[in-house]
Amino acid sequence: MTYDRSRHPSYLLPLVLVLAVIAAVPATAGSESVSLPSPALDSEFRHPAPEVVELGRMLFFDKELSGNRNTSCATCHSPVLATVDHLSINIGTGGQGLGPLRDAGAFPPTLHDPQSRGSRNMTPLWNLGHAQFEKLFWDGRIQVDPGFPQGFATPAGPDLPFGIEFALDALSIFAETDIQEMTGQPGTNELADASLIHPQIGVWDGLVARLGAIAEYVDLFVDAFPAEISGAEDITIVHVGTAIGSFQADAFRSDDSAFDRHLRGDKKAMSKNAEKGMKLFYGKAQCSSCHAGVFQTDHDFHAIGMPQIGPGFDPPEDFGREDFSGDPADRYRFRTPSLRNVVLTAPWGHNGFFNTLEGVVRHHLDPLNSLLNADPSQAVLPPREDLDALDLIAFDDPTITAAIAAAIEIDPPNLSDKEVGFLLDFMEALTDFSAEDARKTVPTRVPSGLPLAEIN
């Protein structure tokens, strides 16, 4: 509808505008004037000092941070695999190899083996240095929270040290304290033994002692924090977290996709089909009611009926946000994932149930049927007899499935196959091609002298 301002007396203008808006609504759905987010601004990202980033890079890739010196952050968050491992559920200490080739350790398990699979699918590390990302993990169990004097709610509660500035930095001192991910079994190393006395503090102290004993690290800490550190005795776990967080914020910033270029004004950046998908996504398909904004997330928690495989966070299942909030209404709610570089981060969902992007998108269109007819054989779970026995306990339990079904809170849109195809084209356009291979972030060696390579 068009109208010529000059023909209407001005007192009628407000009414005419209201009518114009009402008339425009049906026309906008799926077509031209869908409201798109503003582009991400450079000033909204962290810009840590290069010396801090460099220290963080060494720490991120150094197996010295794990109890048995066999796992680094990059073992799971591999920069050559888009900061994930391509497994449905990770295999931590005791596994061998990288990504989908990783094995699940020996059976019968030895002391060094992972106690279990992890609980959840890897969350990628893209854009976590943007100011929006204040809640982390699938359940947001690390988040900015002014209710705590330290400024963050974390599993350490009141024992979190003071002085942490960002949720990402707080999170970066927790993988080291996770027995399955990095610490290893008590009885096998001093960090794991310390975790028996206090789940975090002993491990943090032990880790700082390890790093302080490596002269090259001491120099790097002094360079990174000259005002605070002049020798090994000044290093704290807060410096460790700040450095690792700073590295991730810097290395995994990923806001140069075709979609970003489109938002910044390059109207030729996206293919016509991807543009159609974008308009559906932010319009008629209502994806953006949860996957909101420039990073496709409202940073909130929703239950969408994802089938449960693996041991879960609360074996044999996973209650999601409820574990953090204590509110039964939050059961099976998980954080809306950002969809940046999503085509690169298979498998998808909080436990990696879906091994095709189309599969997880279509799940949203009919979650109940998808849940009831789900095919668990698509999961990517390196086999081990005792672990396999746990993988389908929740999936095969009709009571659990019924409870997951009852919690579904998505209002499925009605989309044609063609429209689903456009949405998938849009997701391609969310790829920043530098993310396909972030090998340039990998150092050639680390101060501990431990090997970097996972490929064997």
Nearer to ligand HEC, 137 or 221 (CB): 137
Whether residue 332 contacts residue 418, with contact meaning beta carbons closer than 8 Å, is answered with no
Contact pick of 160, 170, 220, 423 for ligand HEC (by CB under 6 A): 423
Contact pick of 207, 229, 285, 429 for ligand HEC (by CB under 6 A): 285
Contact pick of 87, 290, 387, 407 for ligand HEC (by CB under 6 A): 290
Per-residue mark of binding to ligand HEC, 382-421 (x: CB under 6 A): ----------------------------x--x--------
Distance CA 60, CA 436 (A): 19
- Considering the rule CB under 6 A, would residue 156 count as an interface residue with ligand HEC? no
Tokens 């339990």 correspond to 397
Per-residue mark of binding to ligand HEC, 65-104 (x: CB under 6 A): x-----x-x-xxx------------x-x------------
Per-residue mark of binding to ligand HEC, 353-372 (x: CB under 6 A): ----x--xx--x--------
Q: Which residues of 414-437 are buried (b: 16+ CB within 10 A; e: fewer)?
A: ebeeebbebbbbbbbbbbbeebee
Nearer to ligand HEC, 53 or 290 (CB): 290
194's tokens: 């310390």
* Sequence-ordered strand ranges (E) for 78-227: 135-136, 142-144, 152-153
Q: How near is the Cβ of 18 to ligand HEC at its closest, in Å?
A: 29
- Considering the rule CB under 6 A, would residue 191 count as an interface residue with ligand HEC? no
- Considering the rule CB under 6 A, would residue 55 count as an interface residue with ligand HEC? no
Strand partners, 354: 348
- Considering the rule CB under 6 A, would residue 276 count as an interface residue with ligand HEC? no
- Considering the rule CB under 6 A, would residue 304 count as an interface residue with ligand HEC? yes
Residue 414 C-beta-side C-alpha neighbours within 13 Å: 0
Contact pick of 81, 125, 153, 404 for ligand HEC (by CB under 6 A): 125
- Considering the rule CB under 6 A, would residue 287 count as an interface residue with ligand HEC? yes
436's tokens: 């396909």
Tokens 């391609």 correspond to 428
Whether residue 194 contacts residue 205, with contact meaning beta carbons closer than 8 Å, is answered with yes
Q: How near is the Cβ of 139 to ligand HEC at its closest, in Å?
A: 6
266's tokens: 């390059």
Q: Is 35 exposed, middle or buried (0-12, 13-18, 19+ CB in 10 A)?
A: exposed
Per-residue mark of binding to ligand HEC, 228-267 (x: CB under 6 A): ----------------x-----------------------
Whether residue 142 contacts residue 170, with contact meaning beta carbons closer than 8 Å, is answered with yes
The residues, ordered by sequence, that sit 6+ positions from 375 with a Cβ below 8 Å of its Cβ are none
- Considering the rule CB under 6 A, would residue 167 count as an interface residue with ligand HEC? no
Count of residues interacting with ligand HEC (CB under 6 A): 50
Nearer to ligand HEC, 345 or 441 (CB): 345
Q: Is 160 exposed, middle or buried (0-12, 13-18, 19+ CB in 10 A)?
A: buried
Distance CA 380, CA 387 (A): 13
Strand partners, 335: 301
Distance CA 6, CA 285 (A): 37
Nearer to ligand HEC, 222 or 423 (CB): 423
> CA-CA distances (angstroms) from residue 138 to 124, 224, 334?
11, 31, 5
- Considering the rule CB under 6 A, would residue 58 count as an interface residue with ligand HEC? no
Whether residue 114 contacts residue 93, with contact meaning beta carbons closer than 8 Å, is answered with yes
- Considering the rule CB under 6 A, would residue 302 count as an interface residue with ligand HEC? yes
Nearer to ligand HEC, 82 or 229 (CB): 82
The three-state secondary structure class of 63 is: helix
Q: How near is the Cβ of 13 to ligand HEC at its closest, in Å?
A: 36
Range in contact with ligand HEC (rule: CB under 6 A) among 200-208, 225-233, 343-351, 435-443:
343-351
Contact pick of 349, 367, 382, 447 for ligand HEC (by CB under 6 A): 349
Distance CA 362, CA 356 (A): 10
* Contacts with ligand HEC, residue ranges (CB under 6 A): 65, 71, 73, 75-77, 90, 92, 118, 120, 122-123, 125, 128, 136-138, 168, 171-172, 175-176, 181-182, 244, 285-287, 289-291, 302, 304, 306, 334, 336-337, 339, 342, 345, 348-350, 357, 360-361, 364, 410, 413, 423
